[in-house]
Structure 1
Amino acid sequence: MAPRIRRSIRELEAEYHRGDRKALEDLIRAWKGIQELPPDDPNSFFTIAGYHGEPFRGAGWGNSQWWGGYCNHGNVLFPTWHRVYVLTLENALRSIPGCGDVTLPYWDETDQETEQNGLPPIFLAKTFTLDGQQITNPLYSYTFQRDIFDNLSPFPDFDYTKHAGYKTVRYPFSGLVGDADIEKTVKHNEVYNAMSEEEVNTILNDNVQNWLGFGIKLNTGKFLYTGTREKYKACLDAPNYTVFSNTTSATQWNEDHFGVRKWSEAGSPTPATQAVVPLESPHNDMHLAIGGFDLPASPTRPGVDEQSFDAIADANGDMGENDTASFDPIFFFHHCFIDRMFWLWQQRHNSTKSLEIIYGYPGTNTVDSQGPTPGVAANTWLTMDSPLAPFDIATGVPFKSSYVVDIENTLKYTYASPPHSQPNAPLLGAPRAPAPPTLRVSGLNRAAISGSFVLSVYATLEGNTTPQLVGVESVLSRWHTSGCANCQNHLNVKAFVPLHGLTHEEAQKAEIRVGKVTRRAVEGKGRPGKPVHKVGMIVGRKD
């Protein structure tokens, strides 16, 4: 049996506007179908979306020693668990009568359309005409069919509670509707509800484009795009699966290889010497771009006023929090693209049949990063045979990472290649920028930070007085680390941030400042007169 083919959502949209409406209409019909199934149905969107985070279950229901959802982040199961998760959602779509041929499209977040115009329009339309009737667009949001409650101490029902009838939201709205947040959220959302649909979509699109494409204007007059789009390209160069797969392992790999790098005769690092970028890093960026985080002030695109990109205080869409992210339908199109990136890495590194995990490395234990998930013991080593709960191949036979490596021959799906691309060609066919200098950041404590945040790195070059944004790194965190025992064991933030657009010589001479951009405030942004702190060292100097 030939593998089914996942295509770009842009391709389905283009066919629809040319008059061939079947593929997009069937996709909408399938999504409508799973969102309308009873919440206890195993194929319902409520059930499947609920596997990722809330509603917490098992030990994680009220015990902060465990992560209460089944998802894996910050460890080597991140790509494989989410591969099975997306497949589970796709199979549910195919279970809807008349939709047996549906496949889940991916949203190519690096394509030219996204760079120029933002999100695919189908994600921004509140309604869709299906079979001659105007319906609520199931790709725009999801309406909760049942209450979910935050049961973690010391603040039960504080942030992640969602009541039946709640509709998922994206930037610039807030979706915090727990008892302690609802009053502030109502006032915040009133501002954006008063705007036109076009104005709100523009704010979201600008934010996504800025995340993907903020950059540096070089002294040659050219503009080098250095944001999340560049991270997606860079992650394909990760030398092994362990460090490709997650931020915990990649951070340690960069730490281990600091000071032992070799340089080419031209004075630039060879490809093996650049800091490793894991797939999870640009993945995190896009969660915050869609869910509720603007970039710090930046000359994001030529001709755009840098003052217009301050973060919107209290914006907190569902995609920005692991607890609720999967209830936003766009989550699955994002993760379908993440899975495609995983497959591209496998093809590039001749790893389509098997993957290896570096035993005992950071990121290979259940207590690393988020903590153990329901049904998994604490302090357990993760391997290719670790069960990917709660997913079973057959009753009582759990999915394992070793089973999901070969998507074409085992899972029976694959990805359509974009025009003019080959598996080993650079993403988008664009040349990679030279390997940048990298800043090792440490000494930042997240104990007093509410929710996810961004490390923003500014450089004031020799002879200049104006700092410029040269790098960002997203940190997915919880609103109350005091109520998360595993968070208390991982309070110290350490990261390696590529300083795109700078030479190593410029980075060595520049004044480097690091700020924290939170939803509550922007600290240490590096503007004149603002308090800032200097953290870290430049990695990758000549030996």
Structure 2
Amino acid sequence: MPQAEQLVANPTYMADIRYFFDTIDIQHMAAKNIDLGSYAGVKKNALAIYAHTTQPGGDMPPEPDRKWSAERSQTFRNWIVAGYPMGTAVAPTIAALAAAAPAERIRKNIASLSPAEIEQLKTAFTGLMARDASDPTSYAALAGVHGRPQTWCLHHEDRFNPWHRVYLKAFEDALRSVPGCQDVTVPYWDISTPVPDLLKQPPFDSYVVAADLGPPYGAGYRTTRNDQAGIDAGLARYSVLQHISSALVQTLWGVSGVSGMQDDFIAAHDGGHMSIGPTMADQNVASFDPIFWFFHCNLDRLWLRWQVNDSATTLTGFTSTLEGNTGWLSAPFNALPPFDTTADQTIAFGIGYEEPAMAAEATLVNKLGSIAAARAFVIPPAAKVSVMVKNIDRLNIPGSFEVNLLADGEVVATRAFFQPNAPRDCENCRKLALVNVNFQLDADRITGRKLTVEVAVPGHEEIGARFPLSALGNPTINARLLLEDA
């Protein structure tokens, strides 16, 4: 007989219903072309699910010990009657975090490394940098995967986080192949703190690429960075820390340039790259700067933190946060070239981070520009306004750029967009030629004011601050209040 469960009077999908279906249920019904792993699938099949699971006559699940309790069935019925509310996730308790499966390797904060760990890290980096570029485990070859000469990297799409997670592990595995460094891990640099002094010392301060990277770099290209004042100014200009904070409390995975965790997370990534620049601001050569690895290690830590907050550390849990496209987690669309690991395999990856005890985020949110008419919604008293610049043809823009939103001629928000200096030469850029940039602002900052948009390309002062929008496919503006599930 099923165990009694708590009856929920006002259940939502993200807080309650998604946990009613485990991997066995999802895989079994997927073979029958019934999706129990996503909000859309459960909603579509809700009446049939209720009929087949309600006891005493329900035939699903087939095993006696997995039958639904009366409380679960009533909770599911309450969800149907209420109009299938999506709701928001509930972050796990500290006890639940402590009970999580241990990671196979743990990465530390670079600021907390011991002297012995620092020496081992230096040995590992120096060893990779000393290898010939023809060695696939050399620093030159591994850095060349992201930008020139290989240009494999995936940006501004669903596989962005998975690809970088695999890339970081491949680099870490190469570090471990240096004699005496078999247990080294890449530490993370918390970007909310100044660049550590260690990263200003060899071999982490810069790198010279001996190979010819082609114009405009040539052979002997040396990486460069902004000073701390320049980095701080960029982080503030692009609201990087604010985007990180917003990303961590999003319930849904979302879409780059539109909504959800991805939009804020990729905005923080792009703004971080441009803040650290000049090398980090150029996708062609960013990964040659040693700071790239510590920066991306931090981003991977933050993605994992979001997964924990959102109960998305398993493939089943992660899929339940997706709205719309889930195909990128299945073959052949889950590929992460040139690596063999696939996107679905990165969700539970066996890598953790050493950091202070992570309390659950206070409140998770689900802000949407549009919502199904069948769902209840609210417009909060302090609702934010989404101003989206849609369908920017970025192939005509020579490098990473920024989009400014102006109110009565005053810049009120700036978003960074990270890309190569010749995007037409990048296959992924060509596939995603039309991109969106989404601003979310308090209504009182922009209502009643004359709004305009400008596109600027830092480092190309000869172009001018106002890159002609007519050369970018004449993008359009979409402005709307952000709604929340009731």
- Which bin holds the TM-score, normalised by the shorter protein? 0.5 to 0.7
Residue 7 of structure 1: CA displacement? 0.9
What's the TM-score, normalizing by structure 2? 0.65
Q: What CA distance in whole angstroms lies between the structure 2 residues aligned with 1:140 and 1:383?
A: 37
What SS is found at the alignment partner of 2:212? coil
Residue 384 of structure 1: CA displacement? 4.2
Describe the superposition over 1:2-43 as per-residue Cα deviations: whole angstroms up to 9, x where unpaired.
Answer: 63221111222xx5xxxxx11111111111111112222232
1:414 aligns with 2:352: yes
Please point out which of 512, 517, 529 is paired with 2:451: 512
Q: Which has the higher helix share?
A: 2
Please point out which of 125, 131, 143 is paired with 1:49: 143
Residue 349 of structure 1: CA displacement? 0.7
Q: What CA distance in whole angstroms lies between the structure 1 residues aligned with 2:460 and 2:415?
A: 18
CA contact (8 A) 1:76 1:357 kept: no
Question: Which residue of 2 is the match for residue 474 of structure 1?
Answer: 416
Residue 405 of structure 1: CA displacement? 1.5
Describe the superposition over 1:445-464 as per-residue Cα deviations: whole angstroms up to 9, x where unpaired.
Answer: 5454321110012224xxxx
Q: What CA distance in whole angstroms lies between the structure 1 residues aligned with 2:135 and 2:314?
A: 34
Describe the superposition over 1:506-537 as per-residue Cα deviations: whole angstroms up to 9, x where unpaired.
Answer: 42112223222213234249xxxxxxx99735
Question: Which residue of 2 is the match for residue 141 of structure 1?
Answer: 206
Q: What CA distance in whole angstroms lies between the structure 2 residues aligned with 1:541 and 1:40?
A: 51
CA contact (8 A) 1:94 1:102 kept: yes
Q: What CA distance in whole angstroms lies between the structure 1 residues aligned with 2:342 and 2:402?
A: 33
Bigger CA drift: 482-491 or 332-341?
A: 482-491
CA contact (8 A) 1:504 1:541 kept: no
Question: Structure 2 matches for 1:233-248, cutoff 5 A?
Answer: 233-241=245-253, 243=254
Q: What CA distance in whole angstroms lies between the structure 2 residues aligned with 1:227 and 1:508?
A: 21
Question: Which residue of 2 is the match for residue 120 of structure 1?
Answer: 196
- Report the AA paired with residue 230 of structure 1: Q
CA contact (8 A) 1:357 1:383 kept: no
Q: What CA distance in whole angstroms lies between the structure 1 residues aligned with 2:479 and 2:354?
A: 40
Question: Structure 2 matches for 1:73-472, cutoff 5 A?
Answer: 73-110=155-192, 114=193, 118-125=194-201, 137-149=202-214, 158-159=215-216, 161-163=217-219, 165-171=220-226, 204-214=227-237, 227-241=239-253, 243=254, 249-253=255-259, 277-291=263-277, 317-354=278-315, 355-356=318-319, 382-385=328-331, 386-391=334-339, 398-407=340-349, 411=350, 413-418=351-356, 421-424=358-361, 436-442=384-390, 444-446=392-394, 448-460=396-408, 467-472=409-414
CA contact (8 A) 2:307 2:313 kept: yes
Residue 101 of structure 1: CA displacement? 2.4
Q: What CA distance in whole angstroms lies between the structure 1 residues aligned with 2:110 and 2:210?
A: 27
Residue 404 of structure 1: CA displacement? 2.1
- Report the AA paired with residue 46 of structure 1: A
Describe the superposition over 1:421-473 as per-residue Cα deviations: whole angstroms up to 9, x where unpaired.
Answer: 4254689xxxxxx764332223655454321110012224xxxxxx5432111
- Report the AA paired with residue 166 of structure 1: Y
Change (3 A) 1:237 1:388: same
What SS is found at the alignment partner of 1:99? coil
Q: What CA distance in whole angstroms lies between the structure 1 residues aligned with 2:110 and 2:297?
A: 11
Q: What CA distance in whole angstroms lies between the structure 1 residues aligned with 2:475 and 2:312?
A: 40
Change (3 A) 1:76 1:167: same
Unpaired runs of at least 5, structure 2: 1-101, 365-381, 468-473
Change (3 A) 1:123 1:468: farther
- Report the AA paired with residue 199 of structure 2: F
Residue 83 of structure 1: CA displacement? 0.5
CA contact (8 A) 1:457 1:513 kept: yes
Identical-residue share of aligned pairs (%): 27
Change (3 A) 1:512 1:46: same
Change (3 A) 1:515 1:94: same
Change (3 A) 1:447 1:80: closer
Q: What CA distance in whole angstroms lies between the structure 2 residues aligned with 1:279 and 1:320?
A: 17
Q: What CA distance in whole angstroms lies between the structure 1 residues aligned with 2:182 and 2:427?
A: 44
- Report the AA paired with residue 283 of structure 1: H
Q: What CA distance in whole angstroms lies between the structure 2 residues aligned with 1:504 and 1:46?
A: 48
Change (3 A) 1:534 1:514: farther
Q: What CA distance in whole angstroms lies between the structure 1 residues aligned with 2:304 and 2:482?
A: 33
Q: What CA distance in whole angstroms lies between the structure 1 residues aligned with 2:428 and 2:344?
A: 28
Change (3 A) 1:97 1:235: same
- Report the AA paired with residue 474 of structure 1: A
Change (3 A) 1:7 1:489: closer
What SS is found at the alignment partner of 2:447? helix
What's the TM-score, normalizing by structure 1? 0.58
Number of equivalent positions? 353
